[in-house]
Chain A
């Protein structure tokens, strides 16, 4: 028996030694491969058919749009188009870059641009489902033939070419948000030849969900970008390789691997152990861990969201401006941002982030002032304390609101000091809370927020306040009109002025109180350089390099 025990012990020790030795040899990784961890797999790799950040994380490297964003900002710069313009706001002319080829070797030209826009415009059946063409429907509303009465007439009318390198997109109405929206990967230019060859236009609805039946979206995405698609193993990795025939500055890294790790802690641990070079969606509670580790570093994604406290103006006494102002003065926003965002947020004074054009520094400010709040309530003819039904969500952490309960408790305490008597009301985020907020049945006050889809003010203030919404319960034609006018204005300078004015009007009227713009964090190995996080979440990897390469 002793012999058996000894053999077992020997075997275990030998195995442990092998594991240790084997790992030491196998852990090294060529420094031309950049491994970044996201939260999940892409949906598909046909950017026209997706709307989620994890898909865009990959498609952004393979495909390019006519216009692009200056890294780290929402400012538009040339992409596949070198120049663009419109005399009437309806016919947009794009001068295209010469000498660009798709990854399959076919040339990029005006015909390819029109083929891409016409492809989406002509979508029928399953492709008109919002699960397939969310961004086309957001930006262009409808299709050539709308299969559903719910769809609006299309903003897009047609596309024409002038020579090989001039494409003209014709709209039915003037639109200003059209151009900033073109940076979305959904409007990237794909190889018409590859799309035809691999059945990109084949798809159907299964169990109510759009599903491409061709192989293009899974195995053959073909663009003009700095990286080419190599492989995709579901649940494990999407792999890209450098496009050595890229028209622009060629990437220094030869290979990119995007690894899905849905568990937040596991993602950080993979970074700590060196298995990945970068990790997105770092939670505030993990920030100190990364900061303390000498091998790691943090990068900030510029704020592109807003957390706010809704005030339902249809409920008395919140239909009175003085009472809404009292709420604004009674919310200790600075303390909440300081205490519960781990240094990863700034106090919001309006409903769009500061890096977006149209943001105004001249909006009225409402610093925490309990005495002023009380005097405003008294001036409104109310006796103190004023009852307020205040809702907050449970079972949720949003980028703009990592811990709703703590935020609520702090706000509740500051409101109590400011002449209000708070009745707390919570509901699970799914399904009750958001539904009640949207229906206008989530109390007098409630906490919620928004993350932008693309870099246009209409996607922030326009979404909230362009028309009547039960959530806010007010009808202010001046605010509605200026936001509608700004959305249609094609002169950028005039548009910026309109949004600045609108932001001032909104903050005077106070349909809600914005309180935080959070800065999501990304973690990297210290050796990673050249990574510039984008506010809209679509980070380019072409500039990444290791150490002193």
Chain B
């Protein structure tokens, strides 16, 4: 297990090198540069040249890449062209927001998706199964931003039950020692802030969790259908075990293996930045930050932010792989 872990961690090096190359050249293949973005109408040829020189964009591409690699390896991801903040500081402020949103979305998707998929399989061919199928199709096919706008319109604007923007009410004064607001509120025992943060999470989490919910429901349903016809399940029933115990110990536990893979992949994807959801809800996470960076051709932010998310994605997948061994003790890594 340890050797496997070390080998996987070593594999990070070529992966990240490849990612850094891709990001570097992809960003430079985009039309425009920070100079034109920043200067707008004031982008006279002389000023553009001055800005290009300042950002080192007039140097040969390999010199630019080498300089980028050197500074990145030293842990310096540069300074945002737009906000003038250190990219590392922005990640520290924004990544916790995205983690909270992702976890909330996944909790919503798992808490609903697994039981829905399970009951759909148990009532295979029935009304509930058909309703869940239609629901899943809708969940996958409705664009997230559209769902987000609808949810926002109904629950924030018309009914006024939930907030429409942000991560916490701006009028609240709370301490954020870790930048994970839910955790911070619990540490500070500030229950009103905790409630406010949860309320801000509800709509974006539901919108963001709609696709994972649909996928998890369908995968759970299919896995349960497969597993419940296995010999060991039939044996367990024949032994006279109560249905609840058979379902819990034998059906659900084995069916969760493919579901875990999906959960891991979806979590990794959501952590990579929920661009549309964060934009619609003005949620200050990684997604909205990277979206703005693309518009501003903010090279340091794009390079640093995407590289960071690539590391996160790889690590999340590693954790998922390792979790197989916990869920199914028959799996061994060597």
Contact = CB atoms under 8 A, between A and B. Distances in A.
Interface of A: 1, 4-5, 8, 19-20, 22-24, 26-27, 29-30, 33, 35, 40-41, 43-44, 129-131, 150, 205-211, 233-237, 239, 257, 259, 261-263, 265-267, 269-270, 272-275, 428, 430-432, 434-435, 438-439, 448-451
Interface string B9-47: 000000000000000000000011100110111011101
Contacts of A131: 54, 84
A366 to B, nearest CB: 24
Contacts of B81: 207-209
22 contacts: A19-B161, A23-B199, A29-B171, A33-B171, A43-B83, A150-B50, A207-B71, A207-B81, A208-B55, A209-B55, A209-B300, A234-B89, A236-B167, A266-B280, A266-B281, A272-B157, A273-B157, A273-B163, A428-B32, A430-B297, A431-B31, A434-B39
B135 interface: no
Given A259-B170, A263-B279, A435-B45, A211 B163 contact: no
Contacts of A239: 170
Given A22-B199, A234-B85, A236-B166, A262 B282 contact: yes
Contact of B48 (A44, A263, A435): A435
A207 B62 CA distance: 16
Contacts of B280: 263, 265-266
Contact of B171 (A24, A30, A41): A30
B93 A235 contact: yes
Contact of B83 (A4, A20, A41): A41
Interface string B263-299: 0000000000000000111101000110010000101
Contacts of A208: 51, 54-56, 81
B162 interface: yes
A207 B54 CA distance: 8
The interface residues of chain A, by DSSP majority, are classed as: mixed
Contact of B93 (A44, A234, A261, A449): A234
B192 interface: yes
Contacts of B237: none
Nearest to B77: A207
Nearest to A231: B173
B221 interface: no
Interface in B48-96: 48, 50-51, 54-56, 71, 76, 78-86, 89-90, 93-94
A273 B160 contact: yes
Contact of B41 (A8, A209, A432, A450): A450
A26 B192 contact: yes
B258 interface: no
B168 interface: yes
B152 interface: yes
A257 to B, nearest CB: 5
A20 B195 CA distance: 12
B277 to A, nearest CB: 11
B163 to A, nearest CB: 6
A27 B160 CA distance: 9
A475 to B, nearest CB: 18
B79 A209 contact: yes
Given A131-B54, A235-B284, 9 more contacts: A8-B115, A19-B202, A24-B161, A43-B84, A257-B171, A259-B166, A266-B279, A273-B156, A450-B41
Contacts of B160: 23, 27, 273-274
Contacts, number: 166
Interface residues of B, number: 70
Interface string B136-155: 00000000000000001100
Contacts of A130: 47, 50
Contacts of A450: 41
Contacts of A435: 36, 43, 45, 48
A1 B195 CA distance: 31
Contact of B32 (A1, A22, A270, A431): A431
Given A23-B160, A434-B41, A449-B41, A236 B171 contact: no
B59 to A, nearest CB: 11
B164 interface: yes
Given A438-B43, A449-B41, A428 B31 contact: yes
B115 A211 contact: no
B164 A26 contact: no
A269 B164 CA distance: 7
Interface string B193-229: 0011001001000000000000000000000000000
B122 interface: yes
Contacts of B289: 235
Nearest to A272: B157
A26 B93 contact: no
Contacts of B328: none
B170 A35 contact: yes
Contacts of A1: 119, 122
A207 B79 contact: yes
A19 B199 contact: yes
Contact of A209 (B31, B80, B176): B80
A129 B292 contact: no
Nearest to B195: A22
A73 to B, nearest CB: 24
Contacts of B202: 19
Contact of B170 (A43, A150, A257): A257
Nearest to B90: A234
Nearest to B285: A235
A265 B79 CA distance: 29
Given A438-B45, A448-B41, A269 B157 contact: yes
A30 B170 CA distance: 12
B169 interface: yes
Contacts of A438: 43-45
A34 to B, nearest CB: 10
A261 B78 contact: no
B36 A430 contact: yes
A431 to B, nearest CB: 4
Contact of A270 (B79, B164, B167, B192): B164
B307 interface: no
A33 B173 CA distance: 13
Contacts of B292: 40, 262
Contact of B86 (A23, A206, A431): A206
A236 B284 contact: yes
A537 B289 CA distance: 25
Contact of B84 (A210, A428, A432): A210
The 7 residue pairs across chains A and B that have the minimum distance between CB atoms: A235-B284, A431-B32, A207-B78, A208-B55, A430-B32, A431-B36, A208-B54
A26 B90 contact: no
A266 B94 contact: no
